């Protein structure tokens, strides 16, 4: 029996900033220290208090090249903020109204020459504000000081180096500007940051198998999900979830019999893909197969429709997202 290896623990990098502009306190530094004291269970937390200068802005972009992370959460303080600001983008611009802690005061310059004017967060913002929507603002303006500079350098490295998390997603990174505790209590801000870490990293991992069933005409059997299933009306390669005691081959044969009343012989491995849905993460292995000569007739049990279709025409169907990745694999193989 092939042993399925567990996925490693999620690794998060959480950063805040030291005080600046003559202040004795930075709330982002406080939050980082408080969150470090909390047992996050299956989350491995690294933290760093960044200096408010050029070297501080470059720390994260260098660190993520040296160590594999699954989430980058950057915190900073904003005097203007009255809510927790989720920064949706970073600008390729420095325009300082005050000096940073090294004495720099740069006006109207690019952070990185010849790069794009702005970069979007790699973290989907949907669902992040559900817990305390009255205290959350999705912002389009991260400023033009050190916070924005740090954010831009980090996103630029993620995009240029195609850095991915353990689910195969573009490495989630977001900058969050924090208000004074006069507006949102520190306890509430900590609770929100913990909810963001949980939302991004803790997804149920499901092992799935799918059959690429071929016939003598070089066609493949595909099935449409019925209205009682999640993602109704989407096309998929038949298969399903593995049970904990099964090999991949055993699980696939069981699923095809339960779904289509067919017995199959598995001939080879087709490919493996990963896909992250909003609600869970899927590890999917596809195997080439054929219907056995003594199989019972096909019967629709959990699908509305099946279709024999050529590989060339697969992309004309409305596919379940993870299965569409298999379509690309099949068409490239052909």
User: What is the model's pTM?
Assistant: 0.69
Q: Which CATH class is domain 205-333?
A: alpha beta
Q: What number of helices (H) and strands (E) belong to the chain? A: 6, 15
Domain ranges of the chain: 10-201, 205-333
Mean pLDDT: which of 169-178, 194-203, 324-333 is highest? 169-178
Torsion angle of C-alpha atoms 222, 273, 8, 48, degrees rounded to 10: -130
316-327 confidence digits (pLDDT tens)? 999 988 888 888
281-331 confidence digits (pLDDT tens)? 788 899 999 999 999 999 999 899 999 999 999 999 999 888 888 888 888
Among 64-68, 176-180, 201-205, 258-262, where is mean pLDDT lowest? 201-205
Please determine, looking at this structure, whether the domain spanning 10-201 carries the CATH number 3.40.630.20: yes
pLDDT of residue 40: 87
pLDDT beyond 50 at 3: no
- Residue spans of alpha helices (H) in 202-297: 248-260
The strand ranges marked E within the chain are 10-17, 43-50, 71-77, 84-87, 89-91, 118-120, 136-139, 173-178, 204-213, 219-225, 235-236, 239-241, 264-276, 280-291, 303-310
221-259 confidence digits (pLDDT tens)? 999 998 777 778 999 999 999 987 889 999 999 999 999
């Amino acid at each position: 029996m092939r042993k399925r290896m567990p996925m490693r623990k999620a690794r998060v990098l959480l950063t805040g900033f030291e005080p600046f502009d003559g202040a004795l306190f930075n709330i982002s530094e406080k939050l980082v220290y408080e969150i470090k004291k909390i047992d996050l269970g299956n989350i491995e937390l690294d933290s760093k208090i960044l200096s408010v200068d050029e070297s501080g802005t470059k720390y994260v972009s260098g660190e993520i090249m040296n160590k594999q992370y699954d989430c980058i959460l950057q915190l900073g303080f904003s005097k203007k903020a009255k809510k927790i600001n989720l920064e949706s983008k970073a600008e390729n611009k420095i325009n300082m109204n005050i000096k940073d802690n090294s004495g720099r005061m740069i006006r109207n310059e690019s952070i990185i020459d010849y790069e794009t004017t702005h970069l979007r967060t790699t973290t989907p913002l949907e669902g992040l504000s559900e817990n305390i929507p009255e205290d959350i603002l999705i912002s389009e303006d991260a400023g033009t000081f050190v916070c924005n500079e740090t954010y831009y350098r980090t996103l630029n490295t993620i995009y240029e180096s195609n850095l991915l998390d353990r689910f195969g997603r573009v490495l989630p990174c977001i900058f969050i500007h924090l208000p004074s505790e006069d507006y949102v209590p520190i306890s509430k801000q900590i609770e929100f940051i913990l909810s963001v870490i949980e939302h991004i990293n803790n997804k149920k991992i499901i092992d799935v198998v799918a059959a690429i069933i071929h016939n003598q005409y070089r066609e493949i059997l595909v099935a449409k999900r019925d209205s009682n299933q999640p993602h109704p009306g989407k096309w998929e390669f038949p298969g399903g979830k593995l049970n904990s005691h099964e090999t991949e081959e055993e699980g696939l044969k069981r699923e095809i019999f339960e779904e289509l009343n067919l017995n199959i012989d598995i001939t080879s491995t087709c490919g493996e893909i990963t896909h992250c849905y909003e609600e869970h993460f899927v590890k999917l292995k596809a195997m080439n197969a054929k219907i056995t000569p003594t199989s019972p007739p096909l019967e629709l049990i959990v699908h509305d429709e099946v279709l024999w279709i050529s590989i060339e025409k697969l992309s004309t169907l409305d596919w379940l997202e993870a299965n569409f990745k298999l379509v690309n694999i099949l068409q490239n193989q052909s």
